[in-house]
Structure 1
Amino acid sequence: MRSILITGCSSGIGHAVAHGLRARGWRVFATARKVEDVERLRGEGLEAERLDLADPASIAAALDNILEHSGGTLDALFNNGAYGQPGAVEDLTRDVLREQLETNLLGWLDLTNRVIPVMRRQGHGRIVNNSSVLGLVALPFRGAYNTSKFALEGLSDTLRLELHGSGIHVSLIEPGPITSRFRANAYAAFQRNIDRERSAYSAQYRGAEQRLARPDKGGDPFSLGPEAVLKRVIHALESPRPKPRYYVTVPTWLFGTLRRLLPTWALDRVLLRVSRAENR
């Protein structure tokens, strides 16, 4: 039975992928940051461990427990656990950006580097990193998240080249708008870390808060359910020739294409119009 470790399984993409792969016969080790989510995942029939991507000791302990149960092998890793920190770049403190990178990038690096030696000993493995359309293009007021995903793209591309010929394949998933708790979690981070009243962007923030406060029920015409990501993850894990990148939604295909075709000034106009439309 093939085995996989998945981070960020409390809801959304991670939750759907964990159950979808289990249904396909994979042995799924699902992880989440909160103890109550781990217990809930176990109640759903998944093998679950607590793993906090911002805590190296938690990462080490979770992987040790998983390898003990798997007999020291692991066929795949799906790095997925992340959150979005909204706010203008000039309103981000060093600590707030560091917190975003600890969870969205550095924790992934730590876990991946601990898993690679296991895969090297086996002579095979799949590493799938869940990126974003915001790893391809930037939008205003998402500087921390943009930074984490742009960095992830570069890190993944480099890792893919370095692991060439090792039997370990690296793929990026670039979803775009997916129905999940992402917006609710971003709103909480926004309220916690951004001084809205003293910002030069206080007027824009009022529109952003209204958007973030709305429940994400998939009302965006381009939004897809997390099962759309599952399809790409399955191909990345099971195909003999996995792709380096998997676009999921229409916005990802659109902006991925526009980035290649348009000069920077023209792409900026498009992205500014998208941002203004979102905050109305």
Structure 2
Amino acid sequence: MPSVLITGCSSGIGYYCAKALKQEGYQVFATARKEEDVQKLREQGFLSYQLDLNSTQSIDEALSCVLEQTDGTIDVLFNNGAYGQPGAVEDLSREVLRNQFETNLFGTHELTCKVIKIMRKQGRGRIIQNSSVLGLITLKYRGAYNASKFALEGLTDTLRQELQGSNIHISLIEPGPVESDFRKNAYQAFKENITTDDSAHQSVYEAVELRLSKQDSDRKKDPFTLGPESVYKPLLHAMTSKKPKARYYVTTPTWIFGILRRVLSTRMLDWILVRVSDDENK
């Protein structure tokens, strides 16, 4: 069966898809940033290696381990690893914004380029980028994450054009709200990197922090939030179809906003998005 390298498999979408593909018989390499998560994956029978997208050395070491197992080939790369840095744009330091891009864009880009060289030699391959509805539209207090996903979309669209005729296909999956540890990790990033005391957005931050800190059991169920299995179907199509799509929309909000950004004026779309953010942080 084909080999599949997946980043960000400690939980959520990455873990679910790695498990589902393994059950289907694929040779799955489930990577994670933390060594303790790698150990947990190995205990469950995964071929797992530590891969920190912020580190060139980590990327090279993980890729080398994978290639030793596959005789130098990789059939599919699923770039799933990412996190969200909350905070108003004016409160994002250069370092904090750089860190967001190191993981969500630069590390993903570096890994992708290394894998493309392998796929060119073997004459085939599939690359799937896990983007977001926030690569299509923006919401307040998510500027760093918005920007990283917009950049990923632009880079991927360019790559798709440059890879024409190579038999290497690249696709974007664009989920909306999906159950994962994303909110928990965002809360940690917020506490570590955003100074609220002297911010013009201090009153809103109190609501943001309250929302992010809520446990799943205490949070009102969002009817639009789907489980991580919602990403598996488009991932499998992108991996196996003779004509994979350039984009796969997942969840109702993604479909709605994907349409609205094409038909509404900027002013009208802003009016809607501002109210979505305000309602979320009430």
1:192 matched to 2:202: no
How far 1:219 moved relative to its partner?
1.4
Q: Given residue 133 of structure 1, which amino acid in structure 2 is its aligned partner? A: V
Which stretch of structure 1 is more off in the superposition, 213-222 or 14-23? 213-222
Determine which of 268, 273, 278 is the counterpart of 1:276: 278
Q: Distance in 1 between matches of 2:179 and 2:268?
A: 29
| 1:248 and 2:235 are equivalent in the alignment | no
Matches of residues 25-40 of structure 1 in structure 2 within 5 Å?
Answer: 25-40=25-40
**Residue 127 of structure 1 aligns to a residue in which SS?**
strand
Q: State the secondary structure of the residue aligned to 2:115.
A: helix
Q: Note if contact 1:52-1:59 (Cα within 8 Å) is conserved in structure 2.
A: yes
The 1:251/1:242 distance shift into structure 2, 3 A limit, reads same
Question: What is the CA deviation profile of residues 91-120 of structure 1, one whole-angstrom value per residue up to 9, with x for unaligned ones?
Answer: 000000000000000000000011011101
Moved more, 104-113 or 211-220: 211-220
- 1:15, CA displacement in angstroms? 0.1
TM-score (structure 2 length as normaliser): 0.98
- Specify the SS of the correspondent of 2:40: helix
Q: CA RMSD in A?
A: 0.8
CA distance in 2, matches of 1:260, 1:178: 24
More divergent stretch after superposition (136-145 vs 211-220)? 211-220
Q: What is the match of residue 13 of structure 2? A: 13
Alignment of 1:107-122 (within 5 A): 107-122=107-122
Partner of 1:4: 4
Partner of 1:221: 223
Written as runs of structure 1 = structure 2, the 5 A alignment for 1:72-221 is: 72-216=72-216, 219-221=221-223
Distance (whole Å) between structure 2 residues aligned to residue 268 and residue 147 of structure 1: 16
TM-score between both structures, scaled by the size of structure 1: 0.99
- Cα distance in 2 for residues equivalent to 1:88 and 1:149: 16
Matches for 1:44-55 after TM superposition, within 5 Å? 44-55=44-55
Q: Does 1:258 align with 2:260?
A: yes
- Counterpart CA distance in 1 for 2:4 and 2:167 is 16
Unpaired runs of 5+ residues, structure 2, are: none
**Residue 275 of structure 1, CA deviation:** 0.3
Shift of 1:216: 3.6
User: Within 2, Cα distance between the matches of 1:70 and 1:157?
Assistant: 29
Q: 1:82 touches 1:104 (CA, 8 Å); kept in 2? A: yes
Deviations 1:160-195 (A, max 9, x none): 000011000000000000000000000000000000
The answer on 1:267 being equivalent to 2:269 is yes
Q: Identity across aligned pairs (percent)?
A: 60
Q: Is 1:63 aligned to 2:59, yes or no?
A: no
